[in-house]
Amino acid sequence: MSKYTMGIDVGSTASKCVIIKDGKEIVAKSVISVGTGTSGPARAIKQALEEIGLNSIAQLDGAVATGYGRNSLEEVPVQMSELSCHAKGAYFLFPKVRTIIDIGGQDSKALKVGDNGMLENFVMNDKCAAGTGRFLDVIAKVLEVDLKDLEKLDEQSKLDVTISSTCTVFAESEVISQLAKGTKIEDIVKGIHTAIASRVGSLAKRVGIKDQVVMTGGVALNQGMVRALERNIGFKIYTSEYCQLNGAIGAALFAYQKCLQAEK
């Protein structure tokens, strides 16, 4: 009989949920753009369950929570570190992965992965918003553009603009002064991508970059950011349509493993 397991990744800015059948096939997924401390996790779980015609986690064969708010879900008693889940999820999507770069809402991290997708080493920045999705949010508001338009604007840039500040507050005022000088928005966007890539790229270099490099997290959906990182680290970066769900995929796979172990 088929087994269905759930992974729920409760982030600071989004809640992601995945249901996997027999540890192989993603059969349901949801992303709600609010995270821990909100209705987001419950809504993400409900949406994923409804996709396969269920209405309770108890009807599944297992569930694991991960992410920033993983301890806040009473209905999911099993939690796993987001680092292990990211390694597992990326290995599921890209079996040759060796380096993972994850830009989340509140932090960015670089992970080194072994042959079997096991985490070998990691470096993390969670002390400062620069180099995170939150940083892009702030800058998009200053520029009065939609987050999803950043990629298109980056493509249109014809000029390299240097944003030197690595602090969100100072970078914000730097962007405002660039606007006052008449610098084009697309050139500022590319400059911001380059600035974030420099910060995140240095994390990846500290962990030791090996091919194949995979980028996860919602920011990986922005190809302008991916290109900036490729320029910085000198490696091709692989992404997937499931990059934002990566942690949740890993959690669902751990739930499946636990399920198999319980049967032995």
Encode pLDDT of 134-187 as tens digits.
889 999 999 999 999 999 999 999 999 998 876 778 888 999 999 999 999 999
Q: What is the pLDDT of residue 166?
A: 67
Indicate the pLDDT class of residue 67, thresholds 50, 70 and 90: very high
- pLDDT exceeds cutoff 90 at 115: no
pLDDT for 216-250, tens place per residue?
Answer: 998 999 999 999 999 999 999 999 999 999 999 99
Q: Identify which has the larger pLDDT, 133 or 56.
A: 56
Which of the four pLDDT bands, split at 50, 70 and 90, describes residue 130? confident
pTM (2 d.p.)? 0.93
**What tokens were used for 119?**
């985490």
Confidence class for position 263, pLDDT limits 50, 70, 90:
confident
Q: Quote the percentage of the chain above a pLDDT of 90.
A: 78
Residues 6+ apart with CB under 8 A from 5: 19, 20, 23, 60, 61, 62, 63, 64, 252, 253, 255, 256, 259
How far is 11 from 32, CA to CA, in rounded Å?
10
Residue 129 clears pLDDT 80, i.e. is over it: no
| pLDDT higher than 80, residue 90 | yes
**Amino acid (1-letter code) at residue 15:** S
Q: What is the pLDDT of residue 126?
A: 72
Angle between helices 185-207 and 133-143 (to 10 degrees): 170
Cβ–Cβ under 8 Å, residues 110 and 99: yes
171 versus 215: the higher-pLDDT residue is: 215
Structure confidence at residue 32 (pLDDT): 95
Q: What is the mean pLDDT of residues 12-41?
A: 92
Q: CA 17 to CA 30: how far, in whole Å? A: 5
